[in-house]
Amino acid sequence: MPAPKPWRKFANWNFFRNDDRLLLIAIALVVGACSGLAALALNRSLAVVLHWLQPYRTQVWAFVLPGIGAALSSLFLDKIVNEGAGHGVPEVVYAVSRYGGLMRFRSSYSRLVSSFLTIGSGGSAGPEAPVVMSGAAIGSNIAKYFSLNDRQRITLVGCGAAGAIASIFNAPIAGMVFAIEVILGEWSALNIIPIAMAAVSGTEVSRILRGNQIAFEHRLFDIHLIDIAASVGLAIAAALASVLLTRTLRATHRLAGRLPVPLALRAAAGGCAVGLLGLWLPVVLGEGYHAIDEMIGGHFTAGLLIVAAAVLAKILATGLTLGSGGSGGIFAPSLVIGSLVGLTYHRLLVWAWPGADWVNEGCFALLGMAGLISGMLQAPLTGIFLIVEITGGYETILPLIIVSTIATTMSHYLEPASFYLKDLVERGQLLRPGTDRRVLADMSVRELLETDCIPVSPEMRLRDFIEVLKRSRRNYFPVNDPKTGVFLGIVYLDDIRPYLFDPLLYDAVVVGQIMHSDVAVASPDDELNDILRRMDAGRLFSMPVVSDGIFLGMVSKATLLDRYRRELMVQTCWQQGA
Amino acid sequence: MENRLLHIFRNTPLGRETFLQSIYFCSQIGLSLTVYIPLSTKFLMYFENDVVQVDLDNSYLTGPETAEAHARQLIEAAGLRAKFLTPKYFTASTLPDIPTDFDFMCCPRTISDLSSKVGLGYIGPRVRRIVGAARYPVLIPSVAYKPWQSVIVFFGGSSNAVKAFRLGLAISRRSGLPLDLYTQAEGRSRADYREGIEAAGLGQALEESVRHWYFFESGGLEENLYNVPHDALGVVGAFGHGLIRDLLFGSKMEEIQSILPNSLLIVGPKYSARF
Amino acid sequence: MDLTFSQIAECLSVAEPTLERWIRQGRIPVERVGGECRFNLAVLERWARDHNMHFSLSEVEQKKPPGAIADGLAEAMGRGGVHRDIGGDSINAVLKNAVARLTMLPPPVRDELYDRLVSREQLSSTGIGRGVAIPHPRSPIGGGMPIIATAFLRNPIDFKAVDDQPVFVLFMLISDSIDSHLHLLSRLAFCLRDDDFLAFLRRYPEADALFKRIATFEKRLDDRH
């Protein structure tokens, strides 16, 4: 028997196995620190390369830079690490909902490199989704190393995501809330504690390495009731902007998919287009943290029309970068667009009611960010906590809550699923814990199969069939071809009840005459969700399961209900305070 | 429940040979065959505690329009039934997930590197990952199709070797072909090995079902393996230990696979006997 | 105690693949030793209770193998014995005398049996026609294996049978469970449907000859399945 490696052994100690909370907290600290480091590495290298490229930005030829970066990033993903494009968060949620959080090791670095190439060269995308993916993959692979089970692994995936967000924004609460609200979708004490620890260690790593600084400093805001009232309008504007961004992203993605050129060229074309936009409005380039800083500080001087144009330009640039195959997330662009929207809204207000005593424009920029993030992610808590933490502005909490919640509701009204989860919802793969879909997805036909049916042959006389009937505990009898074993049909007891007591028919009728040959059958690989839908449509209570023409057993609603209940009890244990 | 073998079809002459091996294996022991004709060069396999991304070598995508017809032709010639797998789930749009709840899988020695590398002594890294993670044994067929007339289990005394012995027994029973045992003794006597088998409750099977026990106390592996029938299917257990331990201590499975050109069935560390 | 995988699955009444998945997903407490899974019964029971699930070991152990109730008619008749020359001219008197012959039962059980037989007869006669009656208690009497006592009467009496023919033989069927009761009853009825067998009974056969005859019937029945 292969001895477990000694350094993995502590995970096998009974003390940890019986109550894994301490074990999870210990590993969560490590996961948080590692994913925090990964996030920091991307963040710092982006800052360096953006600073380094800054002098060349004004040159006319600089517009090709984002093109080159996007092409390289696309080549890297496609040829070197063999991964698809995209920002990665749906992949994390997919792995969590379907495969117990199993992720490839290469995911822990691939997006870091590719998004570094895209964003560093000036592409309009954010580094957050890539660090979330790599943090999650780090968590998953550490769990794999210790041979943890699915539940523990999922928690560690959440820890990785929390550590990454916490580290990149120096915002522990936002990291925690993001991991739970967006990635896991399950609030339970078993999850929250390790994730909180990971957020702490991720933040601490970031604080040690780059100091405890708030991401976006700002002046004190003096908020009046009128501003709070005005924030309702801002929320609607932000929701509209987020819907526009979502649709632009999808449209560019679709259009780019139709271009008959290699992936890298496609990405290059998109990047160059972004570069051209950037020549005119430099604010659209890169992840845009610097621009946010200016806007919140109130140093962004451009006029109303320019700012309004910048909103559209940034949306377009983000669409071009990501839709054409660049790599990165929409988190940072959303922040930029949000603050631009806030600024536009503020300037409109001032223009319309110049006499009113409006709060500083930086405050509206900040509220706009919260609105856009909430609208895109449809996760109001993440929006609220993130903005509070990255700006250190607790005094804005009231309008912040209003903007976040209204923007979430509004955008939910127009786009039923958030940008991160839209793909999954469309594919029917968003399986949040404790939902009907999840319970059904976890169970398989093989687990429900009733195999105690007695097969009969079509040539059997009714007289012999009645003997079989005596021995059976079931009301249905599969009919198989005696030579090939192929399933031909099924005999339902209900249908033949009238003939059973008529001895005259005993020798006159054979099974082949009384069977149903056009029964709806299920395959063992079918999803229970589909099988149930078909049962409901045909008003069936059971269905034969047939694979390659061979009868395997029956699935019935009665067994399904029994097992479904058991599954639900097992899956929702923590909710009962067990 | 029927037992199933997964085969990844390659529409080339080399792929045909491996496919014929799979078909032969299935008809010998009564498995149902599941064929995957790759649509893209990559796919994922989610195992219990690992996820393996398989990046196929480009030859797997040869002639997609004729692939299914070719496969069907071979299947029908053998009078077998087969199912063609269409991936239902996708991790990313170009990255299908291939189910892993099979009872066997057939892998050539390498599936991600160029097939020109195929030779004895080389098992590609992806195939290794699959062997290491899968709950099912992996069939590594010989380069050219060759029916086998007996089953030989390489028994080294470890718990995995006991699993391999169990599997060999099942295959020999299902196929009605004779079963042999091969042991290269490492400082232990025949009685010690027998004790191990008896402790696993297989003493009776050893008496009744094993035709011949090739037992070597001396001589090199290469020399002794010459005694293994050329038309036997080998069943061998593989440890899950990492590269470093393999480099330091070597592994019997590695040596055997580098010497023996026969088709091999490799029982990985996660194998759980369901067959 | 070490339970096998399938036993655990049965205790929780789920399929084995479900149990495998629960282990993989970390939903059920399990100890992993090498590649093997070990369950701690006490932990498992607590877990099941916490999840409001039924977990019973005893049921699995008590479940009889399917062959257990297929206990033979001949064996049951052998245990009951053949008794002759039962006197009495009323149903109750005959029953009383017949029960008195069942010396393998302790006296209190015999008294109870008599009461129950009488109350069953009051419900409706157990005379099934053609001179045969099968007196039996309405609910099983516990303890021991099922028995069938054959009692030939000194004089045929009116048993209020369905065909009003006087009854000359009683098969007293005493069983411990409904299952075995029905099983034996159906086998006995199968024999009594045979005309030759009835004629054979009228000759008041010896015990050995009777049991032999029954055994051939049973063989025929078993062959049909």
Task: Kindly report, residue by residue over A279-293, the tens digit of the pLDDT.
Answer: 888 888 888 888 888
- Average of pLDDT values for B140-158? 86
pLDDT of residue B240: 53
- Which of the four CATH numbers 1.10.3080.10, 1.20.200.10, 1.20.1740.10, 1.20.1250.20 does domain A6-210 have? 1.10.3080.10
Q: B216 pairs with which residues across the strands?
A: B184
- Average of pLDDT values for C179-189? 81
CATH topology of domain A225-429: Clc chloride channel (1.10.3080)
- Average of pLDDT values for C160-165? 82
Task: Determine, for residues C24 and B272 on separate chains, whether the beta-carbon distance falls below 8 Å.
Answer: no
- Average of pLDDT values for A5-24? 59
Chain C: residues touching A (Cβ < 8 Å):
12-15, 17-18, 21-29, 31-32, 34-35, 43, 50-53, 224-225
Q: State chain A's mean pLDDT as an integer.
A: 85
In chain B, the residue whose alpha carbon lies closest to the alpha carbon of A550 is B2
Strands (E), chain C: 31-33, 36-38, 82-86, 127-129, 132-133, 147-157, 167-174
CATH topology of domain A440-571: CBS-domain (3.10.580)
For residue A355, what is the DSSP state? T
Q: Is the pLDDT of residue A466 over 60?
A: yes
Taking contacts as CB-CB distances below 8 angstroms, the residues of chain A near B57 are none
Q: Which residue has the higher pLDDT, B77 or C142?
A: B77
Taking contacts as CB-CB distances below 8 angstroms, the residues of chain B near A104 are 44, 51, 53
State the pLDDT confidence band at A407, using cuts at 50, 70 and 90.
Answer: very high
Q: A556 pairs with which residues across the strands?
A: A542
Domains and CATH numbers, chain C: 5-62 (no CATH), 73-224 (3.40.930.10)
Taking contacts as CB-CB distances below 8 angstroms, the residues of chain B near C24 are 48
- Domain identity same for B70 and B163: no
Q: Is the pLDDT of residue C188 over 90?
A: no
- B272 within a domain of the structure (yes/no): no
Task: Determine, for residues C34 and B159 on separate chains, whether the beta-carbon distance falls below 8 Å.
Answer: yes
Of A160, A82, A168, A163, the closest CA to residue A119 belongs to A168
Taking contacts as CB-CB distances below 8 angstroms, the residues of chain A near C25 are 100, 149-151, 442
Token reading at B151: 């089953």
Task: Determine, for residues C35 and B48 on separate chains, whether the beta-carbon distance falls below 8 Å.
Answer: no
pLDDT of residue A1: 34
- B275 within a domain of the structure (yes/no): no
pLDDT of residue C68: 46
Task: Determine, for residues B158 and A83 on separate chains, whether the beta-carbon distance falls below 8 Å.
Answer: no
State the pLDDT confidence band at C59, using cuts at 50, 70 and 90.
Answer: low
- B254 within a domain of the structure (yes/no): yes
State the pLDDT confidence band at A7, using cuts at 50, 70 and 90.
Answer: very low
Domain with B32 in it: 4-140
Q: How far is B31 from chain C (nearest CA, A)?
A: 20
How does strand C147-157 pair with strand C167-174? antiparallel
Q: State chain C's mean pLDDT as an integer.
A: 79
* Residue C143 CA: distances (Å) to CA of A454, C72, C137: 35, 18, 14
- Domain identity same for B111 and B186: no
Domain boundary (B89, B117, B140) is at: B140
Taking contacts as CB-CB distances below 8 angstroms, the residues of chain B near C34 are 159
Taking contacts as CB-CB distances below 8 angstroms, the residues of chain A near C42 are none
Question: Could you give the CA distance from residue B47 to residue B70 in angstroms, rounded to a whole number?
Answer: 30
Weakest mean pLDDT among A65-74, A565-574, B145-154 = A565-574
Token reading at A75: 């080549």
In this chain, the answer to whether the domains covering A225-429 and A440-571 adopt an identical fold is no
The 10 Å Cβ neighbour count of residue A136 is 35
Taking contacts as CB-CB distances below 8 angstroms, the residues of chain A near B159 are 1
Of A490, A480, A492, A491, the closest CA to residue A548 belongs to A480
Token reading at A573: 């244990």
In chain C, the residue whose alpha carbon lies closest to the alpha carbon of B48 is C24
Listed by start position, the domains of chain A span 6-210, 225-429, 440-571
- Average of pLDDT values for C66-84? 72
Task: Determine, for residues C29 and A18 on separate chains, whether the beta-carbon distance falls below 8 Å.
Answer: yes
Token reading at B148: 């086998």
Residue C136 is a catalytic residue:
yes
Q: Which residue has the higher pLDDT, A577 or A18?
A: A18
**C-alpha neighbours within 13 Å on the C-beta side of residue A468:** 21
- Domain identity same for B34 and B154: no
Task: Determine, for residues B269 and C35 on separate chains, whether the beta-carbon distance falls below 8 Å.
Answer: yes
State the pLDDT confidence band at A357, using cuts at 50, 70 and 90.
Answer: confident
Provide the CATH number for the domain around residue B84: 3.40.50
Q: How far is B91 from chain A (nearest CA, A)?
A: 6
Distance of CA C108 to the CA centre of its chain: 21
State the pLDDT confidence band at C40, using cuts at 50, 70 and 90.
Answer: confident
Token reading at A495: 């249908």
Q: How far is A105 from chain B (nearest CA, A)?
A: 9
pLDDT of residue C33: 67
- B273 within a domain of the structure (yes/no): no
User: Tens digits of per-residue pLDDT, A511-564?
Assistant: 887 888 888 889 888 888 899 999 989 888 888 998 878 888 889 888 888 889
On the 0-12 / 13-18 / 19+ scale of CB atoms within 10 A, A399 is buried
Q: State chain B's mean pLDDT as an integer.
A: 83
- Domain identity same for B133 and B88: yes
Domain boundary (B86, B111, B140) is at: B140
Question: Which residues 6+ apart lie within 8 Å of B230 measured at CB?
Answer: B262
- Among B32, B41, B159, the residue with its CB nearest the CB of A548 is B32
Weakest mean pLDDT among A9-23, A111-125, A474-488, B232-246 = A9-23
State the pLDDT confidence band at C142, using cuts at 50, 70 and 90.
Answer: low
User: Tens digits of per-residue pLDDT, B10-20?
Assistant: 888 888 999 99
Cβ atoms of A134 and A81 closer than 8 Å:
no
Taking contacts as CB-CB distances below 8 angstroms, the residues of chain A near B53 are 82, 104, 106
State the pLDDT confidence band at B79, using cuts at 50, 70 and 90.
Answer: confident
Number of structural domains, chain B?
Answer: 2
pLDDT above 90 as % of chain C = 0
Task: Determine, for residues A547 and B83 on separate chains, whether the beta-carbon distance falls below 8 Å.
Answer: yes
Q: How far is A429 from chain C (nearest CA, A)?
A: 18
pLDDT of residue B241: 53
pLDDT of residue B250: 52
State the pLDDT confidence band at A142, using cuts at 50, 70 and 90.
Answer: very high
Residue owning tokens 């780090």: A138
Task: Determine, for residues C17 and A447 on separate chains, whether the beta-carbon distance falls below 8 Å.
Answer: yes
Q: Which residue has the higher pLDDT, B24 or A298?
A: B24
Provide the CATH number for the domain around residue B244: 3.40.50.620
Whether the CB of B158 is below 8 Å from some CB of chain C: the reply is no
Q: Is the pLDDT of residue A470 over 90?
A: no
Whether the CB of C32 is below 8 Å from some CB of chain B: the reply is no
In chain B, the residue whose alpha carbon lies closest to the alpha carbon of A147 is B49
Q: Is the pLDDT of residue A382 over 70?
A: yes
For residue A79, what is the DSSP state? I
| Alpha helix stretches (DSSP H) within chain C | 5-11, 16-25, 41-50, 57-62, 73-80, 91-100, 107-123, 178-192, 195-202, 207-224
In chain A, the residue whose alpha carbon lies closest to the alpha carbon of B82 is A548
Whether the CB of C26 is below 8 Å from some CB of chain B: the reply is no
Which residue of A13, A19, A449, A570 to mutate against C (max C Cβ within 10 Å)? A570
Q: Is the pLDDT of residue C63 over 50?
A: no
- B145 within a domain of the structure (yes/no): no
Q: Which residue has the higher pLDDT, A337 or C191?
A: A337
Taking contacts as CB-CB distances below 8 angstroms, the residues of chain C near B134 are none
Q: Is the pLDDT of residue A193 over 80?
A: yes
Cβ atoms of A455 and C24 closer than 8 Å:
no
- Average of pLDDT values for A191-195? 91
User: Tens digits of per-residue pLDDT, A423-462?
Assistant: 888 888 888 887 888 888 888 888 888 888 888 888 888 8
Task: Determine, for residues B94 and A446 on separate chains, whether the beta-carbon distance falls below 8 Å.
Answer: no
Cβ atoms of B108 and B130 closer than 8 Å:
no
For C220: left if phi > 0, alpha if psi spans -120 to 50, otherwise beta; the answer is alpha
User: Tens digits of per-residue pLDDT, B210-253?
Assistant: 888 888 888 787 888 888 888 899 998 876 555 444 544 456 77
Q: Is the pLDDT of residue B122 over 60?
A: yes
pLDDT of residue A409: 92
Whether the CB of B269 is below 8 Å from some CB of chain C: the reply is yes
Q: B233 pairs with which residues across the strands?
A: B151
Q: A329 pairs with which residues across the strands?
A: A126
Whether the CB of B159 is below 8 Å from some CB of chain C: the reply is yes
Q: What angle do CA B219, B221, B225 make, to 5 degrees?
A: 105
- Which helix H or strand E contains A69, and what residues bound it? helix A64-75
User: Tens digits of per-residue pLDDT, A52-93?
Assistant: 887 877 777 888 888 888 889 888 888 888 777 667 888 899
In chain B, the residue whose alpha carbon lies closest to the alpha carbon of A99 is B46
pLDDT of residue A140: 94
Task: Determine, for residues C24 and B159 on separate chains, whether the beta-carbon distance falls below 8 Å.
Answer: no
pLDDT of residue A134: 93
Which residue of C13, C19, C24, C25 to mutate against A (max A Cβ within 10 Å)? C25
State the pLDDT confidence band at B121, using cuts at 50, 70 and 90.
Answer: low
State the pLDDT confidence band at B57, using cuts at 50, 70 and 90.
Answer: confident
Question: Could you give the CA distance from residue A319 to residue A274 in angstroms, rounded to a whole number?
Answer: 9
pLDDT above 70 as % of chain B = 90
How does strand B264-267 pair with strand B138-140? antiparallel
- Which helix H or strand E contains B96, and what residues bound it? strand B95-98
- Average of pLDDT values for A492-520? 80
Q: How far is A569 from chain C (nearest CA, A)?
A: 6
Taking contacts as CB-CB distances below 8 angstroms, the residues of chain B near A525 are 88, 99
- B51 within a domain of the structure (yes/no): yes
Task: Determine, for residues B270 and C24 on separate chains, whether the beta-carbon distance falls below 8 Å.
Answer: no
On the 0-12 / 13-18 / 19+ scale of CB atoms within 10 A, A523 is middle
- Domain identity same for B116 and B11: yes
Cβ atoms of B21 and B139 closer than 8 Å:
yes
- Domain identity same for B189 and B122: no
pLDDT of residue A6: 45
Task: Determine, for residues B83 and A86 on separate chains, whether the beta-carbon distance falls below 8 Å.
Answer: no
For residue A455, what is the DSSP state? P
Of the residues C83, C136, C181, C183, only one is catalytic, namely: C136
- Average of pLDDT values for C131-159? 82
Weakest mean pLDDT among A195-199, A215-219, C62-66 = C62-66
Which residue of C4, C16, C20 to mutate against B (max B Cβ within 10 Å)? C20
- Domain identity same for B117 and B183: no
- Average of pLDDT values for A465-490? 84
In chain A, the residue whose alpha carbon lies closest to the alpha carbon of C17 is A447
Taking contacts as CB-CB distances below 8 angstroms, the residues of chain B near A147 are 49
Cβ atoms of A291 and A283 closer than 8 Å:
yes
In chain B, the residue whose alpha carbon lies closest to the alpha carbon of A524 is B1
- Domain identity same for B219 and B102: no
Whether the CB of B87 is below 8 Å from some CB of chain C: the reply is no
- Domain identity same for B41 and B114: yes
In chain B, the residue whose alpha carbon lies closest to the alpha carbon of A257 is B93
